[in-house]
Structure 1
């Protein structure tokens, strides 16, 4: 009998479960994909570049697990609230509390099992897609990658089953404490909205604006406030959002209703009354949706910005795209095939103490350097005729020329003291003479395959240099090697942000959609009454669309405002935090708008009387 009641409950409430089912599927898929990239040991050990992004996907899985738990808890609680009257009837005819808890638990675990099955299929597709995109972006071939990874499957199943059990247990405990009378009267609503706001109602509105202003100011001046801003911005912004939705939203609807020109047009009075009637039930949800919109759109935007920052940062830190030691014919042929903006050639010799450079060669073609005071590119000024002498009797080079020698010779710059000597002295100095070629183009990222091939050719050259280089362990001190590390980390951050944003968007939209559709039963008689009074189907449909649009619009506007201001939080760690923000906004509008139109479609089918 318990199983029969549970299955009947699933069948009877399949529409509500299906709406929330979509959010859980996306959550399972993304969670599994993150774990596959973070736990795949053979994949990580065989591909050194993945070591840099393993932590990114682990952090993404942790963040998603937190949000998903609250999503499961909220949806589980709300489903229970809709079925309290049903459970009360079961108890009235003799069912025990522990039997009702078992029915609810079976329904929850059945839904979770179906979500896991569908989520694994989608998660495997996500994992395969991300691995292919990473290979293409990094121009590498991954080995030992497994889209179906048993460890990730196990932990995904364990987490979602545990989260569902905990959420079900907490809500079942509330069910057990409720009396039969409370359960039977759970569907009775009394949303009283006062005609005139009390004077004290303006205090939370002012506090909401004050908290939101402090939060926005903390975000805007994040580079100055640093740790204080990191704490103040999310706390104050969240408090301000909830206060404004709980206090200002009723005032806006009330003022709108008081305007006769708007209120008396068509059936706007009915539409606004619908909003007012439902306002107390919606305001907390809308505030939560606004914060989730900020998190989801911000996660996607942050991913784009981090990925772009990897390219711009490497160009600022390493001005020359290639540094070649003793280049051979193969390296020279690749350089000839590139549209070089500059190519410089130098030589050096070294012994146990010093690295020697020819002064005439350096002065004839000084390299570009970055002035770390004003961050401008320039050439070092000519060397003074007389250099300062240190306590050991050696010449002290100016800071600009120390930076220039680090640019010319990154592999040996910190191993020995540099000495710039006249060409005649340089030629008489003993030791092997090593040549260096610096080359740069206008766009480093446009020629990644060429830089990769030059690094491969340089491996044999480095094995001959007295630098203790082990190709099995060490990486070349090249711009491409540094770029590969940073770009791999940035790419992992991009995919983490994108899929976190996708999961958040799906969950928040399904919550809002479910919340709206759950009130359809009470609206059927109202729309039916209007139809009997002679209101045409088109006006009823337009009123319904407008009502749902306002509900969707309020959290979207404030949430996107949070994103526009909130991206300032990254100003002190990246060059352009607003890079391709419009793409993130379009993705959000496409998903959020799709849920709006689907909600309107389902609501019309449920509420509007048939013509």
Structure 2
């Protein structure tokens, strides 16, 4: 009965699971493709010496894959926390019907397992279907001729299945534990009041503006004027950029609504006041998540461009003799960047779905007041769009300075194609964000406008 209930929940909530499913499938696809990289290369027309080298380089890439798996472990854990938090009232109803904590936890574990299995199959199928494209990236980075070949790597599939199973089990256990630790009252009390704004006065906002300017000027200035120090201290610089971005977002969150309210003829139009208030209601926690996503996205774009530029530079100049040995590093850099971008987009989507669950009561009230359905849908799209657009624009601003550093390095390495790499990477980032935005806004609209 529990299996039937779990599968029924997944089928009934298939659309609500869409973003979660998309994230898991992308994670599997990237992890499988990374582990299958050498198989992509070995499927090409290579010399015996190249085959020997690339077979050995697979061991290096497997070591790099551990970090990719860690990234997705945190991401899937975050996604499971979102799902549990959103469905606490449902789990509470199960307990009211006499199921008990153990059976509710079992249903949750079975749901995670079923979604995980489907995502694993879909992700691997996507990885196989896109193997010619991933093979193109591998062939380009390693500097070998490429022909479109569909490749199936059973070894990579087995490694991916084991890693993904371990990640899913750990994430499911965390989710089950979070439900077990909640009392029935806590499960049923899902409504949340708007967050309390702190440090939102004029003086506080002024101080935050100065902090944002100082921190961002420090990061961007070191990046442009002392690139060597920036590379050496890149991790501390990342945290400084995170702090500067956080304060910048807080200033925007305080000043933009004020500017909108000052223009009453545009502010008091349709559901604009309601939309602005909904965005403000979660601004305290929202700025932290948006800043983290922004820096992660910028780091991902810079890593992809740097990996591609570095791979081209390896085939020319003094590094030519070491090209084969260093190519796995460049390839790992490209895949880490892709993993960062998928993680950033997924965190944005899950954050918006979580906030949509919190806003359910507000939208039910809006419906009872007779608000036009089209205006309600526009309000939801606007809220989700703002949360996607702001970190994307700020990430591109960070990348202007990061790309400038990479451009200087490309000149030093005698590498060509920087402009093409940068444009393609930004285009890929926007495509990922648009895909997640469409899925997220559609899911939020269904959740908030159900009859």
**If the length of structure 2 is used for normalisation, what is the TM-score?**
0.81
The CA distance in 2 between the partners of 1:283 and 1:501, in whole Å, is 23
1:150-207: CA deviation from partner (whole Å, max 9, x where unpaired): 332222111111111112222322222222111110x111004559924556555544
Contact 1:24 1:507 in 2 (8 A): no
The CA distance in 1 between the partners of 2:449 and 2:91, in whole Å, is 28
Contact 1:23 1:510 in 2 (8 A): yes
The CA distance in 2 between the partners of 1:242 and 1:113, in whole Å, is 37
**More strand, by proportion:** 1
1:290 paired with 2:131, answer: no
1:345 alignment counterpart: none
2:98 is paired with a residue whose SS is: coil
The CA distance in 2 between the partners of 1:151 and 1:64, in whole Å, is 17
1:16 is paired with a residue whose SS is: coil
Residues 250 and 589 from structure 1, CA distance in 2 versus in 1: closer, same or farther, beyond 3 angstroms?
same
The CA distance in 2 between the partners of 1:598 and 1:286, in whole Å, is 18
Q: How many residues align?
A: 435
2:30 alignment counterpart: 30
2:19 is paired with a residue whose SS is: helix
Alignment of 1:12-23 (within 5 A): 12-23=12-23
**More helix, by proportion:** 2
Residues 594 and 227 from structure 1, CA distance in 2 versus in 1: closer, same or farther, beyond 3 angstroms?
closer
The CA distance in 2 between the partners of 1:231 and 1:597, in whole Å, is 33
Residues 236 and 104 from structure 1, CA distance in 2 versus in 1: closer, same or farther, beyond 3 angstroms?
same
Shift of 1:559: 1.6
The CA distance in 2 between the partners of 1:103 and 1:496, in whole Å, is 38
Residues 564 and 59 from structure 1, CA distance in 2 versus in 1: closer, same or farther, beyond 3 angstroms?
farther
2:221 alignment counterpart: 217
The CA distance in 1 between the partners of 2:275 and 2:410, in whole Å, is 46
Q: Note the residue ranges of structure 1 that are not aligned, 5 or more in a row.
A: 318-481
The CA distance in 2 between the partners of 1:66 and 1:222, in whole Å, is 32
The CA distance in 2 between the partners of 1:224 and 1:76, in whole Å, is 40
Question: Higher Cα Rg: structure 1 or 2?
Answer: 1
Residues 281 and 9 from structure 1, CA distance in 2 versus in 1: closer, same or farther, beyond 3 angstroms?
farther
CA RMSD of superposed structures (Å): 3.7
Contact 1:32 1:153 in 2 (8 A): yes
Residues 599 and 162 from structure 1, CA distance in 2 versus in 1: closer, same or farther, beyond 3 angstroms?
closer
Contact 1:34 1:61 in 2 (8 A): yes
* 1:587 aligned residue (428, 431, 444): 428
2:233 is paired with a residue whose SS is: helix
Residues 140 and 544 from structure 1, CA distance in 2 versus in 1: closer, same or farther, beyond 3 angstroms?
closer
1:486 paired with 2:323, answer: yes
The CA distance in 2 between the partners of 1:587 and 1:132, in whole Å, is 16
* 1:238 aligned residue (228, 239, 242): 242
Alignment of 1:168-317 (within 5 A): 168-185=172-189, 187-193=190-196, 197-198=200-201, 199-200=203-204, 203-225=207-229, 228-245=232-249, 247-261=250-264, 262-310=266-314, 313-314=316-317, 317=318
Residues 201 and 99 from structure 1, CA distance in 2 versus in 1: closer, same or farther, beyond 3 angstroms?
farther
The CA distance in 2 between the partners of 1:174 and 1:567, in whole Å, is 42
The CA distance in 2 between the partners of 1:224 and 1:295, in whole Å, is 17
1:15 is paired with a residue whose SS is: coil
2:17 is paired with a residue whose SS is: helix
1:165 paired with 2:169, answer: yes
Shift of 1:117: 0.9
Shift of 1:500: 4.1
* 2:399 aligned residue (549, 554, 563): 563
